[in-house]
């Protein structure tokens, strides 16, 4: 079992038809957002329980639960890489994937999942080891996007890249110092964008498997962006190019 918390994450879990055991609502909350969650849960035959704040803190393990939590009957279900590829092909669109190499900060991971969903990716690929998994913090930071975004957890990211390349997907590493930028490079194609970890960036073997690298130009005194910010710039530039035909 796992617990998610917050208005948006619980709302998205209900909308996505997740296997929810029960919804717990603070006995001090009576606003419209909570009322809508309670109605949606009741309509689906899910138990709704009123509880004091200290019980919600215990269940969610945080003060930032926004007065609502949902206890799911199963752990987070990761997708298979082949399922992501199948979904892309069935969509009839250009491939659009996000690969995250060893993102360890759960808040960065959650922010990236939210951005990737908003940009319309077909799926996200993360490593199984030395990286954040999908936790309740990730779910909350993503505003529930984890519940509606396919996420594959792979043992070998380099092999996952090779598999995408077998399907004709180009793989672009986002790194400082690359000659081409996200604005000059052609991202209007079957593409997977790779973002590295907060401290060490993209690992060498992963980088060597990418087709090309692009940078994000900096115009002020700050010399870099964090992983979540860099991902947002790259993903939405790729989306812009698709909308405009470059």
**pLDDT digits 0-9 by tens, 67-77:** 999 999 888 99
- HSE-up (13 A, CA, CB side) for residue 209: 22
Q: What is the pLDDT of residues 79-124, one digit of tens each?
A: 999 999 999 999 999 999 999 999 999 999 999 999 999 999 999 9
Strands 96-100 and 68-72: unpaired
> Angle between the 106-119 and 227-244 helix axes, to the nearest 10 degrees?
10
Nearest alpha-carbon partner for 6 in 47, 55, 71, 64: 64
Is 27 or 96 the better-scoring residue by pLDDT? 96
**What is the per-residue pLDDT for 246?**
60
| Fold (CATH) for 81-244 | Alpha/beta knot (3.40.1280)
Write down the mean pLDDT value for the chain: 94
Which one of 3.20.20.70, 3.40.50.2300, 3.30.1330.30, 3.20.20.80 gives the CATH number of domain 2-72?
A: 3.30.1330.30
**What is the per-residue pLDDT for 193?**
99
Q: Does pLDDT of 127 surpass 70?
A: yes
| Structural contact between residues 106 and 76, judged by C-beta atoms closer than 8 angstroms | no
Q: How far apart are CA 58 and CA 176, in angstroms?
A: 42
Domain definitions of the chain by residue range: 2-72, 81-244
pLDDT level of residue 30 (50, 70, 90 thresholds):
confident
**What is the per-residue pLDDT for 62?**
85
């Amino acid at each position: 079992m796992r617990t998610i918390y917050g208005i948006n994450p619980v709302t998205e879990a209900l909308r996505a038809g997740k296997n929810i055991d029960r919804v717990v609502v603070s006995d001090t909350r009576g606003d419209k957002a909570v009322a809508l969650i309670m109605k949606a849960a009741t309509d689906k035959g899910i138990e709704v329980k009123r509880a004091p704040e200290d019980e919600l803190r215990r269940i969610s393990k945080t003060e930032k639960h926004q007065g609502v939590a949902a206890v799911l009957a199963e752990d987070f279900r990761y997708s298979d890489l082949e399922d992501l590829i199948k979904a892309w092909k069935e969509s009839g669109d250009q491939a659009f994937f996000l690969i995250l190499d060893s993102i360890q900060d759960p808040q960065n991971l959650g922010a990236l999942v939210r951005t990737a969903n908003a940009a319309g990716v077909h799926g996200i690929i993360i490593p199984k080891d030395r990286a954040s998994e999908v936790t309740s913090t990730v779910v909350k930071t993503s505003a529930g996007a984890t519940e509606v975004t396919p996420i594959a957890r792979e043992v070998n990211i380099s092999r996952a890249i090779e598999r995408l390349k077998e399907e004709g997907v180009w793989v672009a590493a986002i790194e400082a110092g690359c000659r081409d930028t996200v604005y000059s490079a052609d991202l209007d194609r079957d593409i997977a964008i790779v973002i590295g970890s907060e401290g060490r960036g993209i690992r060498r073997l992963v980088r060597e498997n990418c087709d090309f690298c692009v940078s994000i130009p900096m115009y002020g005194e700050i010399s870099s962006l964090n992983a979540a910010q860099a991902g947002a710039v790259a993903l939405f530039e790729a989306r812009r190019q698709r909308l405009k035909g470059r």
